[in-house]
Amino acid sequence: MLTCDVAVVGIGGVGSAAVAHLAKAGASVIGLDRFSPPHTHGSSHGQTRVIRMAYFEHPDYVPLLRQAYRNWHDLEQTTGKQLYFPTGVLQIGPESGEVIAGTLRSAQEHQLAIECYAYEDIPREFPGVVSPEGCVGILEKDAGYLLVADCIQAYLDQATQHGATIKTNCPVQSWSRVGDTFELQTDSEVIQAKQLIVCGGAWAKQLVADLNVPMTILRKHLYWYENDASAYTREASFPVFLIETTQGIYYGFPQFDSQGVKLARHDGGEPIAAAEQLSSSEDAADRQAVENFTARHLPLLSKKLVHREACMYTVTPDHHFLVGTHPEHPGLHFAAGLSGHGFKFASALGEILSDLAITGQTTSPIGFLSIRRFS
Ligand SMILES: Cc1cc2nc3c(=O)[nH]c(=O)nc-3n(C[C@H](O)[C@H](O)[C@H](O)COP(=O)(O)OP(=O)(O)OC[C@H]3O[C@@H](n4cnc5c(N)ncnc54)[C@H](O)[C@@H]3O)c2cc1C
């Protein structure tokens, strides 16, 4: 039987960061994944992820974002690879809407630098953008995107360099608590660990079903369109953008390579019963909604679709994460239900889970993400 201090089940976005932080701290760690991360079967693929600090979802995330920015920066320093691209993030919406009101609240509570634009200023400041009628804009300059696969690979490389054992294409079939330890059953062996970290993404429903918090898996789509305009490029300093319209919230990235401009719809999504049911087939209604959005608000963009991918959100009832220690198993720590906005936090969540496993506590303010809010 293989033994270790900490086993990490799922080494995608969060788990890759957890194994690296654990290994750097000197723990003997085994990271296991049913696929070979970075891969395209879960929630951490599709080239890029938005990162921003003035967080419209809730101001309580801001301290965790400071930790996340710091840790991504450290990872860049130690690997010598650029992972974060500070293009700025432009958010547009009604003044009293979820996005603008929430962003202003976070910026004010945490004294974050933002620039505000009236409806009339938007086309002048951001050529090629047609704002929804009467909406306003906020630009956060220290925000942008992360290269999602490179981040995971960088953390896995760092974990290996610090002595972690990585087992890929190795699904954990079950885990059980045996006294003060955990036993994990894979297809070929049993692994015994003093502490267990579960970061199963869309498989959390199976892996930590006994948390008893309903999580909905949504199939989501990403689209890349050809860009023959000089607008919408990173070269032309076009930012990442997120626009709240009466037909939903859409976001996208400036073009930086031959694949074009990536776009997606943030709200909506098709519920699926289990992660295994993720299919890459097209959702015609979703694509039409995205193309209606671009025709209205990014009119210079070509209508030629060059690439498409499907991915999964794992959504909790209040769209906030579940992070902490299992109420019935003190040695089991988890990050689950990241609700379609978790990747930017992976570098912080990995460190938090590592601290919980090694010391039983964390100084990071994660109380608002506790599952106790559902009991
Ligand atoms: C289309 C889309 C756009 C998004 N955009 C953003 C964004 O702009 N910004 C942002 O911050 N977030 C964004 N998100 C959300 C973010 O990507 C996710 O919250 C985050 O990547 C989830 O990380 P994870 O580690 O929980 O899951 P994953 O990265 O999917 O990792 C889970 C891992 O667990 C493994 N696993 C599962 N079961 C087992 C088992 N039994 N045994 C072994 N291994 C197992 C899986 O193979 C997988 O590798 C987006 C998500 C999607 C789908």
Q: Is 312 in the pocket of ligand 1 (CB under 6 A)?
A: yes
- Say yes or no to pLDDT of 375 above 90: no
How far is the centre of ligand 1, averaged over its atoms, from the C-alpha of 207 (Å)? 14
Q: Is the CB of 127 under 6 A from ligand 1?
A: no
Per-residue pLDDT reduced to its tens digit, 101-141: 999 999 999 999 999 999 999 999 999 999 999 999 999 99
**Residue 82, in any domain of the structure:** no
* 273 in the same domain as 179: no
**Torsion sign across C-alpha atoms 212, 369, 353, 56:** positive
Helix (H) or strand (E) holding 48: strand 48-51
Please count the CA atoms within 13 angstroms of the CA of 280 that sit on its side-chain side: 9
User: In the block, which residue shows the tokens 């990271």?
Assistant: 31
Does the CB atom of residue 12 touch ligand 1 within 6 A?
yes
Q: Tens digits of per-residue pLDDT, 14-40?
A: 999 999 999 999 999 999 999 999 999
pLDDT of 54 higher than 90 = yes
pLDDT for 43 equals 98
| pLDDT, position 218 | 98
Q: Is the pLDDT of residue 229 over 90?
A: no
Which CATH number covers residue 104?
Answer: 3.30.9.10
Query: Which distant-in-sequence residues (6+ apart) come within 8 Å of 155 by Cβ?
Result: 16, 17, 19, 20, 75, 347, 350
Q: Note the pLDDT tens digit of each residue in 252-295.
A: 999 999 999 999 999 999 999 999 999 999 999 999 999 999 99
pLDDT at 45: 98
Are residues 198 and 347 both part of a single domain? yes
Same domain for 310 and 329?
Answer: no
pLDDT for the residue 275: 97
Residues 351 and 280 grouped into a single domain: no
Alpha carbon distances (Å) from 367 to 16, 60, 105, 338, 346:
23, 10, 20, 15, 17
Q: What is the largest CA-CA distance in the chain?
A: 67
Q: Residue 38, preceding bond cis, omega within 30 degrees?
A: yes
Q: Are residues 240 and 129 in the same domain?
A: yes
CA angle 343, 72, 55 (to 5 degrees): 50
Ligand 1 mean position to 319 CA, how many Å? 15
> For the segment 331-371, what is each residue's pLDDT rounded down to a tens digit?
999 999 999 999 999 999 999 999 999 999 999 999 999 99
Q: CA 348 to CA 323: how far, in whole Å?
A: 11
Mutate to test the pocket of ligand 1, among 33, 57, 175, 191 (most ligand atoms within 8 A of CB): 33
Burial classification of residue 243, based on how many CB atoms lie within 10 Å of its CB (0-12 exposed, 13-18 middle, 19 or more buried): buried
Q: In terms of domains, do 295 and 276 share one?
A: yes
Give the position of tokens 């009991």. 375
Report pLDDT for 291.
98
Distance 51 CA to ligand 1 centre (A): 15
Within this chain, do residues 260 and 246 fall inside the same structural domain, yes or no?
A: yes
Q: Domain range holding 250?
A: 89-141+216-315
Binning the chain into helix, strand and coil, the percentages to the nearest 5 are 30, 30, 40
Render pLDDT for 85-102 as a digit per residue (tens, 0 to 9).
999 999 999 999 999 999
Counting from 1 in the atom list of ligand 1, the atom nearest the Cα of 222 is: 1
Burial class of 52 by CB neighbour count within 10 A (0 to 12, 13 to 18, 19+):
buried
pLDDT in tens, 143-159: 999 999 999 999 999 99
Q: Tell which of 315, 336, 355 closes a domain.
A: 315
User: Rounded distance, CA 12 to CA 45, Å?
Assistant: 10
Taking a C-beta distance cutoff of 8 angstroms, is the pair 55, 195 a contact? no
Q: How confident is the model at residue 217 (pLDDT cuts 50, 70, 90)?
A: very high
Q: Is the CB of 338 under 6 A from ligand 1?
A: yes
Q: What's the 248 CA to ligand 1 centre distance in angstroms?
A: 23
pLDDT computed for residue 105 by the predictor: 98
Classify strands 190-198 and 181-185 as parallel, antiparallel or unpaired.
antiparallel
pLDDT of residue 304: 97
Mean residue pLDDT of the chain comes to 97
41 and 160 both lie in a single domain = yes
* Closest to 345 (Cα-Cα) out of 368, 375, 328: 368
Number of other CB atoms surrounding residue 308 within 10 Å = 15
Residue recorded with tokens 């919408």: 232
The verdict on the CB of residue 222 being under 6 Å from ligand 1 is yes
Q: How many domains does the chain fold into?
A: 2
pLDDT in tens, 153-180: 999 999 999 999 999 999 999 999 999 9
Residues 220 and 346 placed together within one structural domain of the fold: no
